[in-house]
Amino acid sequence: MELAGVLNYLVGFFIMVGIYGIFSLGLNVQWGFTGLFNAGIAGFFALGAYTTALLTTPAPDAAQVEDFIFGGNLAGLPYLDWGIDFWFILSLAAVALVCGIVAYAVGRLTLRLSGDYLAIATLGIAEAVRLMFLNEKWIANGSKGLYRIPEFLGDLVSPANYDYLFLVVVLVVLALLYLAVQRVVNSPWGRVLRAIREDEVAAQSSGKDVYSFKLQAFILGGIIMGIGGALYAHHVRFISPITFDPLLATFVIWAMLMVGGSGNNRGALLGAFVVWGIWSGTQFLPWFFADPNFRFFMIGVLIVGVILIRPGGILGETRRVSRVVGASSHTPVKEGGNPKE
């Protein structure tokens, strides 16, 4: 490959790492800090992607239409013609709203019950969302999906170089989300979440409204995942129900968080890089090694390896040393220092 080809590959690679980093960050809020088991990340991924696509995408060619009435493309309506770039930003807000409402509803139903219910409900929601977009063709063109999802700021650069620009967009969104999450998990809000993760009863006896905090964490995580889904849609520019297959839209994200380090936001991002690196790197292997099943198997091996060698993930959670005593000795948890081992 010549240099330009390599560069193009790397840009595409890091766009995906950035997008998956966002999912991983969202899961970290739910699982890493609060202990909420979301088995249906794909549901929020899909809701985010479809919401933005429906708001911004022009209607498909007649020949490609299954039974598409709703049409979306609000950006194309004359009186809402504020330009696609403005609509992109507006649609991110809509994504946040939709995912927030769905997370709220799922949380309302399950977060007072034991954790198993949340796992089952999220699994069910993800499947329900996928089947809804598949079978209710009038919503989003069924199995043929939505394509030609527009590019954000696409007028600024030539199509050949667009990915460079989009990489910047993804990194900016990722950085903003990272900083936002960092701030709240390091504040007393995050302390309550970790207390709930450690011992719900003790958190309650310390006067914390456990249900309310769980709900907040679940909603925040769901919104973050939805935004990841929206960026994915504008990057790949084609979505259909197959896109939100549980392996690539839920399992891989769990793998990222486990490998990188649950309870550590930098770990979540590192995990996205490592796992996506393995996933996309292995496609260049010869013959059957490039088979997707074998590549998933490799990720499975990686998870097992990390769990055996570093149970907390590559970076793992760091101990929060109080400020007065030793602000300088902010050391990662040593293996022997983890009380759960």
Partner 1 sequence: MAVPTPILEVRDLVKDFGGVRALDHCTLDIEPGHITGIIGPNGAGKTTLFNVVSGAMRPTGGSIAFYGRRIEGWGMHRTFGLGLVRTFQIPREMQRMTVMENLMLVPAQQMGEKLWASWFRPGRVAQDEDRISTQARDVLEMLTLSHLADEYAGNLSGGQKKLLELGRTLMAEPRMVLLDEPGAGVNRTLLRNISKSILLASAERNVTFAIIEHDMGFVMAMCDQIIVMANGAVIAKGTPTEIQNNPLVMEAYLGGLNRGSP
Binds partner 1 by CB under 8 A, chosen from 16, 126, 174, 195: 195
Tokens in use for 194? 């970790």
- Which range binds partner 1 by CB under 8 A, 4-12, 51-59, 161-169, 318-326? 318-326
Site for partner 1 contains 189 (CB under 8 A):
yes
Letter string b/e over residues 143-166, b meaning 16 or more CB atoms within 10 A of that residue's CB: ebbbbebbbbebeeeeeeebbebb
CA distance 18 to 16: 5
Binds partner 1 by CB under 8 A, chosen from 216, 243, 264, 282: 216
Residue type, 88: F
**Residue 332 — φ and ψ, nearest 5°?**
-65, 155
Please give the DSSP secondary-structure letter assigned to residue 60. Answer: P
Supply the minimum distance, in Å, between the C-beta of residue 325 and partner 1.
6
CA distance 15 to 217: 26
Q: Where do we find the tokens 């549980």? A: 246
Q: Provide DSSP, 125-169.
A: HHHHHHHHHHH-HHHH-GGG-EE-PPPTTTTTS-GGGHHHHHHHH
Site for partner 1 contains 108 (CB under 8 A):
no
**Residue closer to partner 1, measured from CB, 32 or 40:** 32
Supply the minimum distance, in Å, between the C-beta of residue 208 and partner 1.
6
- Which range binds partner 1 by CB under 8 A, 3-11, 92-100, 187-195, 268-276? 187-195
**Residue closer to partner 1, measured from CB, 39 or 315:** 315
Site for partner 1 contains 36 (CB under 8 A):
no
Binds partner 1 by CB under 8 A, chosen from 60, 119, 147, 194: 194
223 forms bridges with which residues in the sheet?
none
- Which range binds partner 1 by CB under 8 A, 4-12, 80-88, 142-150, 322-330? 322-330
- Grouping H, G, I as helix, E, B as strand and the rest as coil, residue 146 is strand
Residue type, 17: V
**Residue closer to partner 1, measured from CB, 162 or 189:** 189
Applying CB under 8 A, what is the total number of residues that bind partner 1?
A: 38
- Which range binds partner 1 by CB under 8 A, 89-97, 117-125, 150-158, 192-200? 192-200
- Is residue 207 within 8 A of residue 188, CB to CB? The reply is no
**Residue closer to partner 1, measured from CB, 137 or 194:** 194
Half-sphere exposure of 138 (CA within 13 A, CB side): 2
Spatial CA neighbour of 45 closest among 139, 154, 133? 133
Site for partner 1 contains 66 (CB under 8 A):
no
**Residue closer to partner 1, measured from CB, 144 or 194:** 194
Spatial CA neighbour of 35 closest among 152, 199, 185, 162? 199
- Which range binds partner 1 by CB under 8 A, 44-52, 157-165, 195-203, 280-288? 195-203
Supply the minimum distance, in Å, between the C-beta of residue 202 and partner 1.
4
Alpha-carbon separation of residue 231 from 164, 165, 311, 325 (angstroms): 14, 13, 31, 43
160 forms bridges with which residues in the sheet?
none
Supply the minimum distance, in Å, between the C-beta of residue 215 and partner 1.
11
**Residue closer to partner 1, measured from CB, 148 or 319:** 319
Site for partner 1 contains 210 (CB under 8 A):
yes
CA distance 25 to 44: 13
Binds partner 1 by CB under 8 A, chosen from 198, 245, 291, 335: 198
Supply the minimum distance, in Å, between the C-beta of residue 222 and partner 1.
14
- Is residue 125 within 8 A of residue 40, CB to CB? The reply is yes
Residues that bind partner 1 (CB under 8 A): 180, 183-184, 187-192, 194-195, 198-199, 201-210, 216, 220, 317, 319-326, 337-340
